[in-house]
């Protein structure tokens, strides 16, 4: 099948941290409903180069698929990136952006009867926010979800208020944050690996790990779960970003 390209209008832009912004793309209703699964991503074709390698940039959709034709994207600025330079410096409200998708198999499982541990760093939280928002919007019953988010310092926490509120509303949802460069009361000082290694050191068949972040973090997490904790590979799912 030929690739279908869409046009999205930038409807809103706001900073989530000094280096990360949330961008909302609105798709013309005339193009039909843009269906996607929680956790999938889109690929933008940006006017920054003749080479596809430089033009195409993929971003996970950060909202659930219940909100009509609005896509929320969580974008971190790369100092060397042509794509993020364009998105941060040239794009304005009303700018049209060409994109394709949705793509990706890193999605919310149909079976929520297993305990789900979501491990992420930085903007790797975006697909998990989509999954969690979908669960909340549809009041889906689940066994238990533990979101473990890692970043350097408090100023870089993304969507903290939303996750803290959900953890208060539903005791089956847990939210843990690790700071690698900062020590603050109420937060873990160190890396995200410390948290799941301690809390899930006894393997259980009804437990699934979803991991999203840079390749080094994912490699370490997969090795920890497979080799150190002896989980089966069928219990581990991951997606790279960057």
- Check which CATH number belongs to the domain holding 177 and give it: 3.40.50.80
pLDDT in tens, 58-117: 999 999 997 668 999 999 998 888 999 999 999 999 999 999 999 999 999 988 999 999
Asked if 5 and 44 touch (Cβ cutoff 8 Å), the reply is: no
Look at residue 29 in the predicted model and tell me its pLDDT. Answer: 75
**Please, which residues have CB within 8 angstroms of residue 105's CB and are 6 or more apart in sequence?**
none
DSSP state at residue 224: I
> In this structure, are 60 and 159 located in the same domain?
no
Give the containing element (helix H, strand E) for 136: helix 126-138
Give the containing element (helix H, strand E) for 98: strand 96-103
Query: How many distinct structural domains can be found in the chain?
Result: 2
Look at residue 67 in the predicted model and tell me its pLDDT. Answer: 64
> In this structure, are 74 and 159 located in the same domain?
no
Q: Which residues of the chain have pLDDT under 70?
A: 1, 31, 67-68, 242
Look at residue 120 in the predicted model and tell me its pLDDT. Answer: 97
**Please, which residues have CB within 8 angstroms of residue 151's CB and are 6 or more apart in sequence?**
121, 122, 157, 158, 177, 178, 179, 180
> In this structure, are 43 and 138 located in the same domain?
no
> In this structure, are 69 and 95 located in the same domain?
yes
Please say which residue of 45, 74, 103 terminates a domain: 103
């Amino acid at each position: 099948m030929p690739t279908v390209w869409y046009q999205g209008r930038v409807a809103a832009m706001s900073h989530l941290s000094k280096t990360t912004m949330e961008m909302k793309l609105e798709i013309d209703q005339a193009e039909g409903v843009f269906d996607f699964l929680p956790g999938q991503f889109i690929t933008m074709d940006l006017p920054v180069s003749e080479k596809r390698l430089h033009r195409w940039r993929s971003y996970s959709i950060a909202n659930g698929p219940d909100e009509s034709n609005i896509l929320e994207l969580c974008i971190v600025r790369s100092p060397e990136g042509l794509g993020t330079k364009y998105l941060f410096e040239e794009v304005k409200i009303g700018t049209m952006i060409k994109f394709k998708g949705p793509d990706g198999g890193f999605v919310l499982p149909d079976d929520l009867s297993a305990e789900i541990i979501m491990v992420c760093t930085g903007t790797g939280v975006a697909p998990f926010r989509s999954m969690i928002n979908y669960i909340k919007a549809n009041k889906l019953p689940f066994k238990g979800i533990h979101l473990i988010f890692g970043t350097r310092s408090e100023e870089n926490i993304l969507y903290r208020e939303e996750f803290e509120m959900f953890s208060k509303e539903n005791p089956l949802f847990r939210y843990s944050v690790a700071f690698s460069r900062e020590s603050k009361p109420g937060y873990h000082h160190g890396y995200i690996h410390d948290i799941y290694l301690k809390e899930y050191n006894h393997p259980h068949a009804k437990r699934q790990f979803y991991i999203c972040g840079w390749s080094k973090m994912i490699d370490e997490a997969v090795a920890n779960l497979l080799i150190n904790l002896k989980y089966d590979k069928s219990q581990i799912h991951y997606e790279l970003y960057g």
